Amino acid sequence: MRKKINVLQIATLNRPIRHDLGYGPIETVIYNIDKGLHELGHHSIVACSGDSDVVGKQYTTIEKSISEYWSINTSVQRENMRRHLALSLERANKDDIDIIHMHDAIMVEYIFKGVFKSPVPIVMTLHVPAAEKEAFDRWKESFKSSSNVYFVPISEYQRNQHQGLVNMQKVIHHGVDVKDYPFKSNPGEQDYLFSIGRITQDKGQDKAIEIAKKTGFRLILAGNVQNKAKDRAFFKTLEKSFDLVIDAGKPFAGSDYYEKVMKPILDSDNQIIYIGEVDSAQKRLWYRHAQATLFPIQWGEPFGLVMIESMACGTPVLALNKGSVPEIVVHEKTGYIMDSIDEIIEAVKAIPLINPIDCRTHIKDNFSIASMAGKYSDLYHQILEISTLCLKTSQ
């Protein structure tokens, strides 16, 4: 029987680590890894902000997360980061931790500078694309293969982007807990297309609007607008296309949410509807009742959680052929992967040909929390075996 491992995940600080976040892709992954490791019997500890709510053991380093996903780097935030890392290191030095798991490139830079001297091996999940890896650029050429840091890409696409990075491991795709996602029993439950994600040009919300207008479908558009000048400007260009703007992130759940929030919106005659940021339980209902989820991204996204969340509900995905999309969607079985917006517009007609059961089964078989946690567990064991062998060799 394999040894149960003590894993210390050092969380990001942008948002708390919780199951009910509206937007927080990295935080959601940290939560899911923690949950998966706990269910495998490993001792999962998460160093995080006090407003978090994890499945394993919570180790609080700062009182509250930043709350915003992006904000100006202030002296208070820098002090919080230093405190977070210092207390995490203090926890790691208690001799019961086998592996540290990190998720923030800036944190790994502290390791390179010698500020954070880990007593155990570090696994670093590569969440960021090559275009946004400034922290990597500052130190990756100097990193040695003998380093005790192991990098995990989240897609083959991303792995190719980070080519040349030492100690690169096999791809581990993200996973979701499929049983948490309500399954659509009727493929044509509602006559709307769904688009969810941070409102920014890279996500292609303007393209989603174009698809809806040219097909005559209603579009439900969800997502937050970060405090970035280019994102605010992009949102302003979208506003003129909205027929209705409403805050659907209200404190209703389950059938109450559908009856009190969703149904009045869907009973209206409006076509392009912006509903703001919704939490995890709410967005699952929007996925479930949609004809399809649109994913007309304009960049090479390393991994789109939206796609696996949608398919977990049985809702197909219509996406542009960019980034990790071909690794996640099975063309003509769980959705359609197209090379242009015009092709997606044509594909809308073929939505009824997709079987919701195929979508959900695909996620169960390939993108579950159990699968993701199992692969990380295998990697941890492999790294610890290497460390033990190196220690014996040096003695």
Domains in the chain, ordered, with CATH? Answer: 6-175+368-394 (3.40.50.2000), 178-366 (3.40.50.2000)
Closest CA to 62 of 74, 78, 73: 78
- Contact predicate 388/5, CB 8 Å: no
- Contact predicate 184/356, CB 8 Å: yes
C-alpha 103/C-alpha 281 separation (Å) is 25
Six-digit token string for 40: 């495998």
Beta bridge partner(s), residue 196: 222
Beta bridge partner(s), residue 168: 151
CA distances from 14 to 48, 49, 70, 73 (A): 10, 9, 7, 11
C-alpha 300/C-alpha 303 separation (Å) is 9
- Contact predicate 383/101, CB 8 Å: no
Tell me the whole-structure pTM to 2 decimals: 0.91
pLDDT score, position 114: 59
DSSP assigned state of 323: T
Instruction: Give the pLDDT of the chain (395 residues) as one tens digit per residue.
Output: 678 999 999 999 888 999 888 788 899 999 999 999 999 999 999 999 999 999 999 999 999 987 766 556 677 777 888 889 889 988 988 889 999 999 987 776 676 665 556 788 999 999 877 666 565 666 666 666 557 889 999 999 999 988 878 889 999 999 999 999 999 777 666 789 999 999 999 999 999 999 999 999 999 999 999 888 999 999 999 999 999 999 998 766 566 888 889 999 999 999 999 999 999 999 999 999 999 999 999 999 999 999 999 999 999 999 999 999 999 999 999 999 999 999 999 999 999 999 999 999 999 999 999 999 999 999 999 999 876 665 555 54
pLDDT score, position 71: 58
Closest CA to 220 of 189, 245, 202: 245
Closest CA to 327 of 304, 344, 306: 304
